[in-house]
Amino acid sequence: MTRSIKPLVAGNWKMNGLKADLAIAAEVAKGYDATLKPNVDLAICPPSSLLFTATAALIGSRIATGGQDCSTQASGAFTGEVSAAMLADAGANFCIAGHSERRTLHGETSATVKAKAEAAQKALLVPIVCVGETKDEREAGKALAVVRKQLRGSVPEGAGAATLVVAYEPVWAIGTGLTPTAADVAEMHEAIRAELGRLVGKQAAAGVRLLYGGSVKPSNAAELMNVANVDGALVGGASLKAEDFLAIARACAG
């Protein structure tokens, strides 16, 4: 954890959730009490069909919302796409860009991710730019090189603490129950901070929140959140259970 940075725990609901599931968000809001609010920020990224309703339901809770993806385009004949401005209009504060499922299943390149992050920033959203290596890349000793390359291609120029979040999600750990060792996470997050320093300047990079994602759960959250340069978590499956999500938040709050 970086002591000068207030941690962020963001829940990525992925393609899960109907109106009835907003009860999860309500439970999170109820548990986000006076002991947590000063020490950790929370955000929920529901499917776009629930974004406006979730945002409205969370008014007064100080829990932010975000989109899971956005178009590179501002508007136009792009059937099925959702623009960053539309997410902002629905009340979002954040937008995930370049999640490995988008990179893998939809063939998104780092150039596309950068364009989406820039679109998010233009709409006054904070992009959560995701990077991470595959199992083969880690076993081949290429993890650091892969992530540095993704950062160089994905991070908008001039981004800083108020306009960027970076999430390290090793692809092989997402949804598998596997996690890298604390030493591996420390090495990667240190490398990410250093690479950001080269991209946006050391002063700006020092304030960027670096999240860890990939099978984060209550049982491993405390260990992961105590790693240097880990400033919170991007949570998948555990964010669909209010108590698990709050337990991770408590681990971040210290």
Q: Which of 99, 118, 133, 189 is catalytic?
A: 99
Residues 6+ apart with CB under 8 A from 234: 10, 12, 96, 128, 130, 167, 169, 211, 212, 213, 216
Q: What is the mean pLDDT of residues 3-25?
A: 96
What tokens were used for 13?
């609901």
Asked if residue 136 has pLDDT above 90, the reply is yes
The catalytic position among 137, 169, 189, 195 is 169
**pLDDT exceeds 80 at position 3:** no
User: Is the pTM above the cut of 0.85?
Assistant: yes
Look at residue 175 and tell me whether its pLDDT is greater than 90. no
Q: Which CATH superfamily is domain 8-232+243-253 in?
A: Aldolase class I (3.20.20.70)
Verify whether residue 106 is a known catalytic residue: no
Looking at residue 56, what is its pLDDT? 97
Please report the pLDDT score of residue 176 as a whole number: 86
Q: What does the block give as tokens for 76?
A: 């136009």
pLDDT at 2 over 80: no
What pLDDT is stored for residue 142 in this prediction?
97
pLDDT at 179 over 90: no
Give the mean pLDDT of 192-198: 97
pLDDT digits (tens, 9 = 90+) for 70-115: 999 999 999 999 999 999 999 999 999 999 999 999 999 999 999 9
- Is 99 among the residues known to form the active site? yes
Q: What does the domain layout of the chain look like in residue ranges?
A: 8-232+243-253
CA–CA dist 30, 188 (Å, integer): 35
